[in-house]
Structure 1
Amino acid sequence: MAEKKTGIDQALIRDLANILNETDLTEIEVEQDALRIRVSRAGMPMMAMPQMAYQAQPAPVAVAPVIAAEPVRNLANAVTAPMVGTVYLSPAPGSRPFIEVGSIVKEGQTLLIIEAMKTMNQIPAPRSGKVVEILTEDSRPVEYGEALVIIE
């Protein structure tokens, strides 16, 4: 029989908080079986309003973004996803990735591929520079506007 997890998956919460930061969303919610996690962050200060909603089911866990000892990312130099799809970091399974952290790229050079509606779309570098961070993983779904790579 499957063993039931006790406690909250802190790695999942950190991942959700990172998604909030990378995509400029203010809230994200994930539900799996009987567990529902909602991560939100405060936007501009607003007048506080008491919440009067009560639920018969267990209340979702609201967690502020986790502050870790990670360097602050400068997303001003990020290459973002121009479409929703699945990202691939190499031209074929098992082959060498298009780029790695530290790679020097030229404007127009293919950084990665996003598959959308069974079409492989090469995503070119918008400018020349050095790849300082890759913010996605191979074969992972991406959203429109999601930061994928940082080029400085």
Structure 2
Amino acid sequence: MTKHSHDADVAFIQALAELLRENELTELQVKREYGDNDSLDVRVSRTVQMVASVAAPAPMAAAPAAAPAAAAAAVSEDPSQLPGAVTSPMVGTVYLQPEPGAKPFVSVGDQVSEGQTVMIIEAMKTMNHIPAPQSGTVRRILVEDGAPVEYGAPLLVIG
């Protein structure tokens, strides 16, 4: 890096960070070659905070004393470990309806068939239909429309 401007490198890294933010990417790695034995390796990354919407549990009538502890354990439970959890097969942006203003693919309480599209994940400008892995009832939807999702993130629960 002795033969080129440090200011140019800083501007390049700032441009990469802007590209990362604008395209909602989590990581970007680039190698910039300047010539023989002169290059710049840059890795820019950021963490994305995932927001999950969780339906409030139904009120319990005359619960025993141990119920609050059990309820707290259920709320803190990892949704991806629940039976019937559908996880994201890729990184992208989730859409709950086929187009803006349209009816959602599924709602809580809907019956779904195996293979039925339950949502779309956009990755690299490609709309990927996410099928229900099993038939059943949609118990919970754990993502918001337009939210970024990571690989393996829980999307919904079918029971």
Q: What TM-score do you get using the length of structure 1 for normalisation?
A: 0.53
Q: Which secondary structure does the structure 1 equivalent of 2:140 belong to?
A: strand
1:7-43 per-position Cα deviation (integer Å, ceiling 9, x unaligned): xxxxxxxxx7987xxxxxxxxxxxxxxxxxxxxxxxx
SS at match of 1:115: strand
Identify the residue that residue 85 of structure 1 maps to in structure 2.
Answer: 92
Q: Which runs of 5+ in 1 are unaligned?
A: 1-15, 20-66
User: What is the deviation of 1:92?
Assistant: 0.2
Question: For 1:112-131, what aligned pairs fall within 5 Å after superposition?
Answer: 112-131=119-138
Aligned to 1:108: 115
Matches within 5 A, 1:11-90: 70=75, 72=77, 75-90=82-97
Instruction: Indicate if the aligned counterparts of 1:75 and 1:147 stay in contact, CA closer than 8 A.
Output: no
1:144 matched to which residue of 2?
151
RMSD: 2.5
Work out whether residues 112 and 124 of structure 1, in 8 Å CA contact, stay in contact via their aligned partners in 2: yes
Alpha-carbon distance in 2 for matches of 1:17, 1:122: 21
CA distance in 2, matches of 1:77, 1:112: 16
Q: Which amino acid aligns with 1:78?
A: A
Rounded to whole Å, the distance in 2 between the matches of 1:70 and 1:110 is 27
**Deviation of residue 68 (structure 1)?**
8.4
Report if aligned partners of 1:87, 1:113 keep a CA contact under 8 Å in 2: yes
CA contact (8 A) 1:79 1:150 kept: yes
Residue 96 (1) aligns with residue 103 (2): yes
Q: TM-score, normalised by structure 2?
A: 0.51
Whether the 8 Å CA contact 2:87–2:153 is kept in 1: the answer is: yes
Q: What SS is found at the alignment partner of 1:133?
A: strand
Partner of residue 132, structure 1:
139
Match of 2:83, SS state, is helix
Q: When you count helix as a share of all residues, which structure comes out higher? A: 2
Provide closer, same or farther for how the CA distance between residues 114 and 18 of structure 1 changes in structure 2, counting only shifts above 3 A: closer
Residue identity over aligned pairs, in percent, reads 59
Q: Which runs of 5+ in 2 are unaligned?
A: 1-48, 53-71
Q: Distance in 2 between matches of 1:17 and 1:88?
A: 15
Q: Residue type of the partner of 1:123?
A: I
